[in-house]
């Protein structure tokens, strides 16, 4: 299965600032997925990122808050903009492979 590297692994940020999370995959993939996992909760899909087109956002998530880039078939970034304490979560990148969906280790974000 694909190996996913996410950076940073964790960060503590001031409210009102923005954080960009990077996701690097060791193989070319068509779609990359960004999930949010709030404390003690399940995973919720934020958006699907396709190379060469605009990301597709799920209900409740908007591009102005979570802009996504997908410059090539192995890399994507998710930015959490104008952060508030409610954005404190784990953000996870995922790709689909032959054996199913693989997840990165996540970025643990704390907004103070």
Partner 1 sequence: QQQVKQSPQSLIVQKGGISIINCAYENTAFDYFPWYQQFPGKGPALLIAIRPDVSEKKEGRFTISFNKSAKQFSLHIMDSQPGDSATYFCAASMRGWGKLQFGAGTQVVVTP
Question: Contact positions toward partner 1, by CB under 8 A?
Answer: 1, 4, 31, 33, 41-45, 48, 92, 94, 96, 99-106, 108
In the complex, what is the shortest distance from the CB of residue 40 to partner 1, in angstroms, rounded to a whole number? Answer: 9
Which is closer to partner 1, CB of 14 or CB of 40?
40
In the complex, what is the shortest distance from the CB of residue 31 to partner 1, in angstroms, rounded to a whole number? Answer: 5
In the complex, what is the shortest distance from the CB of residue 103 to partner 1, in angstroms, rounded to a whole number? Answer: 4
The residues pairing with 22 across neighbouring beta strands, listed in sequence order, are 7, 77
- State the pairing for strand pair 107-111/10-13: parallel
- DSSP conformation letters of 30-76: SEEEEEEE-TT--EEEEEEEETTSPPEEPTT--TTTS-EEEEETTEE
Which is closer to partner 1, CB of 85 or CB of 99?
99
């Amino acid at each position: 299965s694909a190996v996913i590297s996410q950076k940073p692994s964790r960060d503590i940020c001031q409210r009102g600032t923005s954080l960009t999370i990077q996701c690097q995959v060791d193989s070319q993939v068509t779609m990359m997925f960004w999930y949010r996992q709030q404390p003690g909760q399940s995973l919720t899909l934020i958006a699907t990122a396709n190379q060469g087109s605009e990301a597709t956002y799920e209900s409740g998530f908007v591009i102005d808050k979570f802009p996504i880039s997908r410059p090539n078939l192995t890399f994507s970034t998710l930015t959490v903009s104008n952060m508030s304490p409610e954005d404190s979560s784990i953000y996870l990148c995922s790709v689909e492979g032959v054996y199913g969906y693989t997840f990165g280790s996540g970025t643990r974000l704390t907004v103070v």
